[in-house]
Structure formats: C-alpha cells, structure tokens
Chains A and B, each alone.
Chain A
Amino acid sequence: MALVDDVKSLIEGALPGAAVEVIDEGGGDHLRVNVSAAQFEGMNRIDQHRLVKNAVRERSDTGELHSLTIKTSVPQ
C-alpha cells in the first residue's frame, strides 16, 4: 500500500468518522494531512496533533514517513 493511503487509513482508524485528506508533498514520504474530526472538539491544538501523530507513530518511528505536516479542525 502506498504510504499516502496507509497514513490515511491509520488516521481514519484512530478517529472514526474523521475527514482525512493526505497530500504527498514530495518523494512519497513528506506528507501533509488535513484532519477534520468531531473528536477534536474541546481539545487544545497540541492534543489534536498528538492524536494524529500517535496514529502514524510506527511509520514515523521507522523513518518510512519522514515528515508529516498537520492541520486539524473541528467540523462546522
């Protein structure tokens, strides 16, 4: 599975119902994600990022995922 799809499903798995958009910013291992999730309601930004980062932790620990730029939001 391409890393883009892998990362998308890992985040969706951690945040059921979330809208997850993953963009390859270069080389397939520098990714940008936009995550909109009801679960973020009432959470501060750093905890929202923790949730997303921890979902893909195995990929970033191995270096397979080199860089992940994260943008989080709560659906309107």
Chain B
Amino acid sequence: MTDPALKEKIEELIRENKVLLFMKGTPEAPACGNSMRAVAAIEPYGVEYAALDVLPALEPLREVTGEIADWRTFPQLYIEGQLVGGADIVEELNESGELAELLGVDRAEGQPASAKEQFKAENPQQSPPIQIER
C-alpha cells in the first residue's frame, strides 16, 4: 500500500527536476556500486541534476516508484519526467551517445578531465541532497 502523500511528493520531484536521480547514498558518497555507476555516467556532462537518497525510506519508495514507473530498484534516472532506466541502461545510453542527447549536451567524451572539477568549483551547491520527510 503506497503512502499517497509520499507518492504526490515524488511525482512533484519528477515533474519539477529536469534531471533527477534516485540513488542509494549521495553523489559525493554513493552507498551502492550501481548508484555509483549512474553518478559516474552523469557527472562528466556537468549538467545540473537533483539527487534523492532513497535509503531513509527504501521500502515506501520501492512501492511508489513501482506504481509510478513500474520500476522498484535503485538507482533510477528521470529526465524530463520520464524514467530513463537503472545503472545498466544509463551506462549503455552513455556509451551510445544517447545520454548526451537526452541531457541536451555535447558528448562528455573528449572533455578535459578538469572540466568537471571546474564546474564543481563554480557550482558548489549544484546538487544538494533532497530530504524526504517521514
């Protein structure tokens, strides 16, 4: 049984964040290898994205995302309100260049390694963790 208030909150987050990652842990400290793979695929593009740590409410969030997107495992990447996939699909799309298209940026490949660090230095608050109040 899903919590209607939580479902509404999650639907709002999906609607309002162009790029949204549900993950275990935070981009700075991923708590699972698959969440780390998703972060590693997205970060080099330097796009702004929101990240939600699912661990504080894992079971309720499984139920909610199961209802919203028929997907119950994490990570989950949403772009413009649509579920793109979990770590495997995100990696495949990254390799094929489709992820860049979805994010609306040039391919990250060939970008100097320092670009990411530079972006982070300029945008220290780019992806504050979202807290779910329970």
Residue-by-residue, is A36-76 near B (CB-CB < 8 Å gives 1, otherwise 0)?
Answer: 00000000011001100110010011000001111100000
Chain B residue at smallest Cβ distance from A68:
B73
Chain B residue at smallest Cβ distance from A67:
B34
Question: A57 to B88, Cβ gap below 8 A?
Answer: no
Question: A53 to B89, Cβ gap below 8 A?
Answer: no
A65 vs chain B, min Cβ distance (A): 9
Residue-by-residue, is B14-36 near A (CB-CB < 8 Å gives 1, otherwise 0)?
Answer: 00000000000000000011100
| Residues of chain B contacted by A71 (CB below 8 angstroms) | 88
Contact-size category for B: 10 to 19
With beta carbons under 8 angstroms apart, the residue of B32, B70, B88 that contacts A69 is: B88
Besides A54-B70, A67-B34, A69-B87, 7 new A-B residue pairs in contact (Cβ under 8 A), listed by A number: A49-B86, A49-B88, A53-B73, A57-B72, A61-B62, A67-B33, A68-B73
Given contacts A45-B89, A46-B83, A46-B84, contact A53 B62 (CB under 8 A): no
Question: B89 to A49, Cβ gap below 8 A?
Answer: yes
**How many A residues have CB within 8 A of the partner chain?**
15
| Residues of chain B contacted by A70 (CB below 8 angstroms) | 88
> 22 A-B contacts, Cβ less than 8 Å apart?
A45-B89, A45-B92, A46-B83, A46-B84, A46-B85, A46-B89, A49-B86, A49-B88, A49-B89, A50-B71, A53-B71, A53-B72, A54-B70, A60-B72, A60-B73, A61-B72, A67-B32, A67-B34, A68-B73, A69-B87, A70-B88, A71-B88
| Residues of chain B contacted by A68 (CB below 8 angstroms) | 73
| Residues of chain B contacted by A46 (CB below 8 angstroms) | 83-85, 89
| Residues of chain A contacted by B70 (CB below 8 angstroms) | 50, 54
Q: In the bound complex, what is the Cα–Cα distance between A69 and B33 (angstroms)?
A: 11
Q: In the bound complex, what is the Cα–Cα distance between A45 and B88 (angstroms)?
A: 10
B75 vs chain A, min Cβ distance (A): 11
Q: In the bound complex, what is the Cα–Cα distance between A37 and B89 (angstroms)?
A: 18
Q: In the bound complex, what is the Cα–Cα distance between A45 and B85 (angstroms)?
A: 9
B residues 71-113 in Cβ contact with A at 8 Å: 71-73, 83-89, 92
